[in-house]
Every structure is written in C-alpha cells, then in structure tokens.
Structure 1
Amino acid sequence: MMKDKITKALFVYPETPVSFWSFKHAISFVGKKAAFPPLGLMTLAALMPKNYEIKLVDMNIEALKEKDILDSDIVFISAMIIQKESFQKVVTLCNSLGKKVVVGGPYPTSSHSQIEGVDYFVLGEAENTLSEFITDYENGTARHLYLSETKPDITQTPPPRFDIVDMDKYATMMLQYSRGCPFNCEFCDIIELFGRVPRTKNPDQFINEMTILYDTGFRGGVFIVDDNFIGNKARVKKLLPEIIRFQEERGYPFELSTEASLNLAEDDELLSLMARAGFNMAFVGIETPVEASLLAINKQQNTKTDLLSSIHKIQKMGIEVTGGFILGFDDDPEDIFDRQIAFIQKSGIPMSMVGLLTALPNTQLYRRLVKENRILNESTGNNTHDLQLNFIPKMDIDTLTEGYKRVVKAIYTPKNYYARCNTLLKNMNEYPSRPVAKMTLPVLAKNLKGLFASFFIQLFSGYGFEYLKFFLKNLFTRPGVFVQAVSKSVMGHHLFRITNEITAPGWLGKYIDHKLETVNVNLFRLETKKTPDSIFRIINLHIHAVTKMQKKLLKVNKSSTGHLGHTMQTVSADIKSYFTKFEHLVREKIGTIKLDDLKTNLEKIKPAILKKIAQIRKDCDVKYAYIKEYFTEAYYKAEDEINRLVALLGNPQAVAVTT
C-alpha cells in the first residue's frame, strides 16, 4: 500500500465576491486589502502536525499561483457558499496540476454531494476529524469522506496561527469564543452546523489568544466571530471581567465587535460589562418589524421586547448596532417595503444589511420548502447582489425583487444614511464612560490616513454637500464621537457604491435593449443605400454599440452580472449577426462597386477599428476579466471578421458566407 507523506501543505481561501459584507470600498481608505482574515484556516493550521510547513494563500489579498500549488504536497481549501464559484476554479486548477485536494468549511459541509474534483472531504468541525484524516492519509488508507458526528470540546482547541497571514493587509482581526446558538430561527444554518447548545472556551484560554494577538503588535479592531456571543450569558459574564482587566492593563489596544441577539438589551449587567470591555459594535439579526413574520420563522426572541427601544438602549451604552434585515418571508404584507424603510430610518442603524431570503441547505426552511415543492435551485450564498431567489415566494417575484431594490436605494441615499448616522452618534454620545484606546503612533497614522482619504475623496464626490454637513455637525457638536463619525462616513462610501451596483442591472438591461434597437434601425437605413460609405458606417456602428455597452457594463459589479448572462449572450449573438449581414451586403454589391476602392477604404479604417478592439481585449484580459464570458465571442471575433472581409474583397470566392 502506497503511503503519502506530507511536509508542505498549501491552504487556500477562495475569493469572496464584492458585497455589502466585503467592505471593499471602505477598507481601501486605510490601505487594506480585505476586511477579515480566514480564521477557520488559521485554526486548522494550529491543528496540523508541528513539523508541517504551511503556506496560506488568501485570494482576497493575493493571486493563487500555479507555483504555490506545485510546491505543495497537498492542498486544503475552506469555503463558504458565497465563495463556491472561486472554490470550484481552485479545485479545477489543482486537478489540472495533479495535486490532491482536501476541502472543508460551511459550503462543502452542506453541499458535498454536489461538488466534483475533490479527493477528500473533511467535514464538520475539524477538531474531531482532521487528526484521523492525516493519520490515514500518511498510511495510505484515507477515505473520501470524513464527517464529524459529535461536537468537539473547544476548550481543547489551540490558538489560531496568526503567523501564517500578513496582518497588515487586513482591516480587522478575528477571534472565536463560542460556537452555537440557543435560538431556533427557521432560516439559520448555524444551529445545523454548530448546534443549539453554545460551547465556549475557558476565560483563561480566550485571554491567552488575545495576548498572543497583542504580542504580534497588532492594534485595532477585533471581531469575535461567535454566532451569538451572549448565547450562554452566565459564562460570558465570567469572561467579560477578564477582558476588561486585559484591556485596562494595556490601554485598550483592541476595539471589539461581535454578533449578539437582541435580548442583550434586556440584561443591564451584561450590557454594561460589554461596554466596559471595549465593545463598540454588535451585529443583531432584526430581520423584520412584522411580528407575524417573526413568529412564523421561530424568532420569538424579537417579539418579547420593543425593537426600537432595545436598539436605542444598546446604542446609548456606546455600542453601535449593525442590523440584519430580510425580505421575502411568507407572512410579509404588501406594505413590507415601506415598513422596512420607515423602521430602519427610525432605528438609527447606519449599516442596515438588507437581503432577500435564501433557503440555505440543511436548514429548517429548506426542508419545509422541499416538502412544499417550492425549491428552485441551490442558494448562491449572496442574498444581496444576484437578485435570484432559490425558492418560490408567496409574493410575486418581480414585486419582491423590485421592492428589495427600492428599499436598498431608499435607505442608502446619502441624506437618509447620514440621518441614521446622526441618530446613532447622538445616542452613543450619551454614554460618558466609553473606553478610549491609548493613542499609539500606528493607530494615529491609520486614523489620519482614513480622515484625509475620507475628506478629499468624499467632499468632492456627488454627495459632497451631505458629507460636509455631517462632517461639520459632528466635529463641532459631538467631538467625543468624531472618530466614529469619520468611520461612518467611510463606510457610507462603500454602501453607496454597493447600492449603485445592486440597482444598476435594471437600467443596464433597458439601455442594452434600447441600443440594440437603435443599431437595428440604423442598420436597416444604411442597407437601403448603395454607397461604399454606408458599409464603413455599419462597421463603425457595430464597434460603437459594443463599446458603449461595455462602458455601461463596467459600472455593474462582478457579482451583479449573473442574471444578465442571457442578455449579454444575446448581445454577442446579435453582433455576430450584424457582421454576417455586412458580409452579405458586400457580396450583393460585388457587381455594382469597384472592389479596389472598397478594399482601399476598408484598409484605411481597419487600423482604427483594430486599435479599439485591441483595447477592449486588453481590458477584458486585465482590468475587467469578469465580462469576458459575455463578450468574448463579440470582441475576439471582431478582428477576424475584419480580416475576413478584407480577404473577401480581394477574392470573393475565398471565404464562405457565415450561417
């Protein structure tokens, strides 16, 4: 039996599409490449044998090179559902280079039966499966599938390997205290992956991880990735005093954030401890202001309190609330869109992450919809950009998607966004005991860089007046939260850009339809004329139309173009058809015009056309690779068509008519 020894392991984290959650357009203000590092792979690395040489490639900050794969003995890939397109490309590349592939993480765990090209699946929580796989692999007896049947004791989980990532490339670091959530929301996959009994690390264990991170020299934001940090209130109340002590002794080096349930507002002691520990943000799943929908999805915890009062109470303790909202529940009323807009504006939640409901695999929602024969396809994991529901909603689909776009567009006008920011900062300003981080030179440099970038970019933007009003108001009336005001401004820039990308496809489709109609009308007019000039104008018309459509498409985000695939393919086919018509036109005129004159004139305009095509090709290959799949045929065929036409004019029988 052949044994495989591992000395070099390559860890790959696939690319995440740009979305509300990527914060791409905000983190660039402070020179960062990605918001968060891949904590799962960093933890996996800590579980590997100590003698392994491990290299991690996060495709969100650097390209994966073939050399990285070839230099390794085996490749480990972890991915979420939203990363599945990039994930599959990595798997395919590894297959082509003959490297064994091991995968895990949320996406493979929920959908492994649909994934091809993978040698080994190590699913569930790695603490229970990785060691067995490594032993079997090195003994030549590895199975195709390893699945954790029990939940591991995470008090035995080692600290993540911070040394395998370039920490300067990330805006925020990550730690984990617990796994699991005690609640039972129908749409949630977390309780399926990690269970409903929260498992926590020991206080000493978690403080040790904070110390290791501190010793790397990192200072700034730390996101505690727990699905519900307060899922076990008794234990977290034992941890928080230790975090407070850690922060006070070191001058509050970390700005903490996490995810928590809204019942945080019901526990004054817990809320006070979190504020004193340096928590400045908590993501809360609010979902909807409609009580009937909350009850239907088993989110009773949000019906036991006044939503707005709870949100404002948390804010007044100096903790920003970031809210998750969902549209598409069965019990959503017709006026849900207006109600969501009104609620969000009153809440003072600047970052209101509104998404369409998606049925994730292995959730209660998915199982129910399967029984009701309402599942259309598998979820993309992106409930904000692709605008494609993977199930049949009770509401009309067009009404739902158009209503969703209306909500997002309304809440992310600069005026409405800054109004929510002012509500938040007014509430946060009421907390006088907010911990203040010790100002070190690196922290000061980062803050100043963000401030200058914000001022000079946003002041001269299309929303510069709203920005200036917000900037000055908080500078002079709320100086205690001015740093937060700058942060909110920078985040607003990202949110405005993403909103434009989400709402752009609608008008782009209409623009393309209009442009095609215009081309067809002009083509008909030109074909009725019997002059060589009309032929040359047809060529320019083709190229001009394609170029204009390309410019419009470039305003649409990469992950927004998926549902335009059919339209784009139609454009490509139509352009090919135009060239075919042109060729027929030339053949018809063979006997009525001088071929030499026609060929001479065509040769004159050929360089300009080919130059334009070359630029388009360069843009496709380098800057805008993602549009290649829609326009490859049109762009790459154009040069060949021009050459064929020149050849045709020289020898009419040399080239067959395209059918």
Structure 2
Amino acid sequence: MRRRLPSHFFLNDLATGKLQKIYTSDERPDITKTPIPMWSLINMKKYAAMSIQYSRGCPFDCEFCDIILLNGRIPRTKTPDQMTAELQALYDAGWRGGVFIVDDNFIGNKKKVKEMLPHIIEWQRQNNYPFTLFTEASVDLGGDFELMGLMSKANFNKVFLGIETPNPESLVECGKNQNTRFDIAECVQNIQQHGMQVMGGFIVGFDNDTEDIFESQVKFIQNMGIVTAMVGILEAVPNTKLWKRLKAEGRLLTEGTGNNTDTHLNFIPKMGKNNLIEGYKWIVKKIYSPHYYYDRINTFVKNFNPTAKAKFSLADFEALVRSIWRIGIFSRSSILYWKLIIKTFFVKFKALPSVIELAILGVHFQYITKKITQTRT
C-alpha cells in the first residue's frame, strides 16, 4: 500500500505498529528545519574535508540530470543564521581546513546567496578564517562579479562547474542553454582571477557529438587550464528526460551504474559504441599524461590570483614532503614537478599550496586513468 502523506505520518505509524511498505509525498523538506549534525559521532582525522549544505534544487533543467527530480527546480535555502551556526559547530568540534558546501548549484538563487554570504564573511573574519570553502555552481557565476567578489571574501578557493562540452549543438541538445550564453573560457578565467580554482565536469557521447569531439575536448580543457577535468561518458539516469527519450527511441540498454567513467554504456550512441569508448579512453589518457597535466597546471597558475586566507599548516608541510618523495624522486613526472615547484615558488608563491595539492592529485588521476584505459568492454 502506498500513502502520499507528509513524513510525520510515518512516525505516527511507527509508534502504533502500523507501518506501510512505501511512503511518498509531494512536499519537499523544509531545510530551514534541518538540525545541526552531531560532529562528535565521527573521527575528523579520517576526513580531508567536512561537508555542509546551503541549498537544494537547481533552476536549470538539463536533459541528463536528475537533480530537479530529486530536489526540485526551485532552490530551497537555509537561513544565514543556520549557516553560521553550522560553521560554528564545526569550529567548536575542532575542525580547521576545507569545508565542502555540497549544493546542487550553490548560486541557484543568486539573490538569497548574496544576502547570506556577508554573514559568512563576517564569521570568517571574527574567527580568523579557519575554513577554506568550495562548492558546485553553474557557469554563469563567471559573469557575476559581485557574487565572485563575495565568494572570494568568504574564503572560497575552489568551485566545480558543469561545463560539459565545447560543442554548442550538444549543449542545446541536452538543454544546457545557460552554457551557450557565455564565453566559457572567459568565465573560467574570471573565476580564477577571483581566487577560485575551477574544477570542471565534461561529457562525451551526445547525439550531436562527432568523432572530432575527442580532440576538441582535449584542446578545450588544455586551453582553459582546468587541471581537475572530470570527463565522463554520457549516461541515461532513470526517469530523466534523456532516459525517457532514449527509451522511446529504443536505444536504452540498462538502468546504468551511476558511474560516468564506466565504459559499459547503458544506451546506444549515435557515433557507435566502440568509437565512443575508445575516444573516451583516448581523452582521459591524453589529459592525464604528465606533460598535458603539468601544462594545465602552468596555465592555471598563470591565470590564478590566490585570495584565500589559509595558513601553511603541519598537514601542508607533510603533503609537501610526501609529494617530494613520491613525485619529485620516484616518478616519471619528477622533472616537470621540480620545474613547476621552483617556478611557482619564485613567480607566484601564494599559489604554491594549490600547486602541491594538484601535483599530488595527479598521482591519483593517473591511477584512475590506468583503471579506465585497461577496462575491457
């Protein structure tokens, strides 16, 4: 039996021993009532960053995305007081370092976020900037100088953008029209000039992608200097517009795995399965080869204007020592590594922590690349 009722009915049924198999509701949770996490339940030493949330939902309706199915198209936000209370709780629990604001689109409601950020700015100032913040946003962030300025002052140092593809026909195809209204390279440069490293999501396998998309993606990624370029194969997620369209066209194969680096496709691509898989493997292998990877770091450093207030901690020193041992001595990237470290030290010293982090991440990316390229399909 299915009951389309608010969540409190579940608690009533639980108390009276009358639980139903399925409970659903047309109401979305009011996140202004979200309690502060009990951080004492975890061992913070096992985490690289802590996570909090400001909003749920996204105003955009991309064909391949299930965010609006899960969280709606009208962003719901927490109050400024909630956000500073959650930051204070993390601070009181002893955390210092990175905090990931895990929103679907942090700037989905620009008016609200611009009202909230001054509260974070003041809290950071009063507490001597204990946290560096990072989040996910849409590309139009790069055209809003007021918003970028506020995020910079709030001590944001990274942001993930869903860039997807240099192919405008594919952007229109998947309903990502917001990306066609901006010069993406200019947006990326603007964001990096405001002290935020841009991490990018990219997709291949759209119907309008031809076999030249693979080389175009590599050039696109390299020219923008997006070091952390997360490239995946298009996947039809259940109940999205893409999933429904492909099902109607008889091109849907399976429900998928939710892992867009999986080379077991869940749909029939127009360019052909083998062309797509081999082209995807070529992209990943190319962009995470040492020369291409370090070339992107150099481009990033050239465009980057570090603004985040962060102290060089013991953990940073340990990371530097590990990077020297793992990359500077026992790696085929050692020459590239030392050239980068020395150049950054003398030319843009404030970018050095980011550069060390990216060098270390490169080892991880090469491991993932090896797994992807050796996968049999």
* Same fold by TM-score greater than 0.5: yes
Does the residue aligned with 2:254 lie in a helix, a strand or coil? Answer: coil
Aligned to 2:308: 435
Q: Which runs of 4+ in 1 moved over 2 A?
A: 120-124, 131-135
Query: Does the 8 A contact of 2:202 with 2:229 survive in 1?
Result: yes
Q: State the 1:264 CA deviation.
A: 0.4
Q: State the 1:159 CA deviation.
A: 1.5
Q: State the 1:148 CA deviation.
A: 2.7
**Structure 1 residue 402 corresponds to structure 2 residue 272:** no
1:391 and 1:262, CA in 2 relative to 1: closer, same or farther beyond 3 A? Answer: same
Q: State the 1:206 CA deviation.
A: 1.2
Q: State the 1:163 CA deviation.
A: 2.1
Aligned to 2:343: 473
> Structure 2 stretches of 5 or more lacking a match?
none
1:484 and 1:357, CA in 2 relative to 1: closer, same or farther beyond 3 A? Answer: same
Aligned to 2:187: 310
1:246 and 1:121, CA in 2 relative to 1: closer, same or farther beyond 3 A? Answer: farther
1:350 to 200, 209, 227: 227
Aligned to 2:290: 414
CA separation in 2, counterparts of 1:482 and 1:242?
A: 29
2:61 to 175, 184, 191: 184
Q: State the 1:122 CA deviation.
A: 11
Q: TM-score, normalised by structure 2?
A: 0.96
Aligned to 1:448: 317
Aligned to 1:220: 97
Query: Does the 8 A contact of 2:211 with 2:275 survive in 1?
Result: no
Does the residue aligned with 1:289 lie in a helix, a strand or coil? Answer: coil
Per-residue CA distance 1:16-72 (angstroms, 9 max, x = gap): xxxxxxxxxxxxxxxxxxxxxxxxxxxxxxxxxxxxxxxxxxxxxxxxxxxxxxxxx
1:141 to 5, 11, 18: 18
Per-residue CA distance 1:81-136 (angstroms, 9 max, x = gap): xxxxxxxxxxxxxxxxxxxxxxxxxxxxxxxxxxxxxxx99999xxx52x433332
CA separation in 2, counterparts of 1:319 and 1:391?
A: 36
Per-residue CA distance 1:292-344 (angstroms, 9 max, x = gap): 00011110100001111111111111101100000000011220001000000
CA separation in 2, counterparts of 1:136 and 1:451?
A: 56
CA separation in 2, counterparts of 1:423 and 1:415?
A: 12
Amino acid at match of 1:458: I
Amino acid at match of 1:469: K
CA separation in 1, counterparts of 2:236 and 2:41?
A: 35
CA separation in 2, counterparts of 1:121 and 1:135?
A: 15
CA separation in 1, counterparts of 2:340 and 2:372?
A: 25
User: % of aligned pairs identical?
Assistant: 48
CA separation in 2, counterparts of 1:505 and 1:333?
A: 23
CA separation in 1, counterparts of 2:247 and 2:121?
A: 47
Query: Does the 8 A contact of 2:157 with 2:308 survive in 1?
Result: no
Per-residue CA distance 1:149-178 (angstroms, 9 max, x = gap): 211221111112222222111101000000
Query: How many residues are matched?
Result: 376
Per-residue CA distance 1:237-274 (angstroms, 9 max, x = gap): 00110110011111111110000000001111001000
Aligned to 2:265: 389
Query: Does the 8 A contact of 2:195 with 2:308 survive in 1?
Result: no
Amino acid at match of 1:446: A
Amino acid at match of 1:222: V
1:121 and 1:484, CA in 2 relative to 1: closer, same or farther beyond 3 A? Answer: farther
Does the residue aligned with 1:303 lie in a helix, a strand or coil? Answer: helix
Question: RMSD of aligned C-alpha atoms?
Answer: 1.8
Does the residue aligned with 1:143 lie in a helix, a strand or coil? Answer: coil
Amino acid at match of 1:407: I
Per-residue CA distance 1:544-570 (angstroms, 9 max, x = gap): xxxxxxxxxxxxxxxxxxx5xxxxxxx
Q: TM-score, normalised by structure 1?
A: 0.56
Query: Does the 8 A contact of 1:221 with 1:255 survive in 2?
Result: yes
CA separation in 2, counterparts of 1:375 and 1:492?
A: 35
Aligned to 2:333: 463
Amino acid at match of 1:485: V
Per-residue CA distance 1:574-595 (angstroms, 9 max, x = gap): xxxxxxxxxxxxxxxxxxxxxx
Does the residue aligned with 1:221 lie in a helix, a strand or coil? Answer: strand
CA separation in 2, counterparts of 1:435 and 1:188?
A: 31
Query: Does the 8 A contact of 1:122 with 1:133 survive in 2?
Result: no
Structure with greater helix share of residues: 1
1:292 to 149, 164, 169: 169
1:169 to 40, 46, 49: 46
1:419 and 1:246, CA in 2 relative to 1: closer, same or farther beyond 3 A? Answer: same
Amino acid at match of 2:335: F
